[in-house]
Chains A and B, each alone.
Chain A
């Protein structure tokens, strides 16, 4: 391709055409800049403002009850985010992987499998705030309590279609010969799936799940009407209200007090680092997959 790309320069190309070509190239680079400059600014401010308050105290202390208070404390929100997202992962990942197993292994592209696959894609497009409203109506209203677990349910709804979609793609990559070899040894279908197909696709599936976790950890909308709010540490997902980094950013961002805004930046930095850890982990795992396959 590279030899072809430059070829027209040698031919007689009118200045107008050459100008249009160059203009298009420049505009494409401008498009990249338009997307990357705001990203650089966001990252700069999150790191710069966040570091001012970041420290051991910030990560561990309780959140000040009075928003006007200056100084650290975001511990309960960090624990809340980790626990709520962790529980959501425990719910969504097994269900999503098994759903993908049905689509690829048992459905074999019959009509039902195609419908499930299609609706999974549609479900991935449902706004996260609708997931929050949904869990509010079927769970919070019923049990009269905001809990961390309700937030986990809402996040799990969000993660499920992502896990299904990515696991499905990875299962499809497992070569048919592997399954046939297992069948030839007399292995039953379920054992073949559990001991041959899933391990073969494991790194890809894990990578997809980590991306789903990263996505869920940063979400605010599904948690707004499900986990409530608290300033104290609550490590029990099933009792009393909880809080999360994203919720703390949302509620502190609108406060006029410098102390609250500072904590919002600190929470933003913590959240970004968490999300990045999961994203990078996903890359590392899928990088190993790529290496193994080459």
Chain B
């Protein structure tokens, strides 16, 4: 379909001696080598599952189902309940989605429908730059720069929302800290924005212009056109992109480890400190031995399983929308 010409046509090789066996053997060998490399993906995924599950076994057999249903994490007394970490992973990822997805979709719409054509490429570059910032640099910045001013904002919000039902459960109730569910979630939102933006952009770019022009011809404003054709047409693709972003957010480790406050608790107050699965592995693995270490690997197993499921679902949704949109992804 695309016509790509190369710099110079590579030197054509002389026709091989067809009767010789050597080329046939070389040909087959090469085929098997590439097959082996392809199968490596399956092998690694299987090995990850087997190796981590077997190393986590002591913790699973020690705690049993309590590993998943209790929230007490007390290595000194050999108590390992993962619930508080699972909760932290869920809450921070949800904050990331709630904040990051509207921003990403807004930028994607801006880039495909609104912004002047000259501006689009530079903006894409800058968004890619956001993706290039290492997680640990976000963590460093959050910890050394953002923490104090954020805590002050949290204190303000804490006072404002004190008497408003529902919102006071989320944003009030004291105990606010600069490193909290909210801080980690906000940084995660920033980190998933590039990927969700670029996937949404690809989805929006595949909306047929006939659809858009039809809406405009009927007298729709640009926003009405976006709502009626672009967003409707691209809905399943955007859902896939969001799920991929969710997978990213759940597995993100270092920035969260630095910014969530490392305090395993289950609370609806988003300005309080918590802990996440990936975060606690990063922070505690160094000093962990025996069952403690096995329990941390167990958290890794849970994280692996969840992110695999989320990514499988995301890929199924994305592949379906790709087929529906005519394979432009």
Contact = CB atoms under 8 A, between A and B. Distances in A.
B132 A279 contact: yes
Interface in A213-261: 214, 217-221, 224-225, 246, 249-250, 253-254, 261
A8 B216 contact: yes
Interface in B19-43: 23-24, 26-27, 29-31, 33-35, 37-42
Contacts of A175: 2-4
A96 B37 CA distance: 7
Interface residues of A, number: 112
The DSSP consensus for interface residues of chain A is: helix
B251 A119 contact: no
B94 interface: no
A250 to B, nearest CB: 5
Nearest to B318: A121
A218 B132 contact: yes
Interface string B244-283: 1001101111100110000000000000000000100110
B137 A271 contact: yes
Contacts of B193: 35
A199 B10 contact: yes
A194 B300 CA distance: 40
B123 to A, nearest CB: 7
Interface string A4-31: 1101100101000110110111011111
Nearest to A118: B315
Interface residues of B, number: 106
A193 to B, nearest CB: 7
Contacts of B164: none
A190 B304 contact: no
Interface string B210-224: 000100100111111
Contacts of A51: none
Contacts of B144: 45, 253, 261, 264-265
Contact of B42 (A119, A129, A271, A283): A119
Contacts of B190: 35, 38-39
Given A134-B52, A200-B6, A24 B226 contact: yes
Contacts of A105: 34
Given A45-B145, A129-B300, A106 B34 contact: yes
A113 B285 CA distance: 37
Contacts of A218: 132-137
B40 A272 contact: no
Interface in A145-178: 157, 160-161, 164, 173-175, 178
Contact of B221 (A13, A126, A178, A196): A13
Contacts of B139: 249-250, 253
A141 interface: yes
B155 interface: no
A55 interface: no
Interface stretch (B66-74, B76-84, B103-111, B165-173): B103-111
A8 B254 CA distance: 49
Nearest to B6: A200
Nearest to B144: A261
A284 interface: no
Nearest to B123: A32
Nearest to A278: B132
B47 interface: yes
A107 B38 contact: yes
A65 interface: no
A133 B6 CA distance: 43
B44 A186 contact: no
Contacts of B41: 99, 116, 119-120, 123, 160-161, 164
Interface in A39-81: 39, 41-43, 45-46
Contact of B222 (A8, A106, A116, A221): A8
A187 B110 CA distance: 49
A290 B219 CA distance: 38
B219 A187 contact: no
Contacts of A194: 30
A195 B13 contact: yes
Contacts of A103: 38
14 contacts: A24-B222, A28-B106, A43-B133, A45-B145, A99-B34, A99-B41, A102-B31, A106-B31, A118-B319, A126-B304, A130-B304, A188-B16, A189-B27, A250-B254
Given A4-B216, A127-B250, 8 more contacts: A8-B222, A112-B38, A164-B41, A182-B12, A188-B27, A195-B13, A249-B136, A279-B128
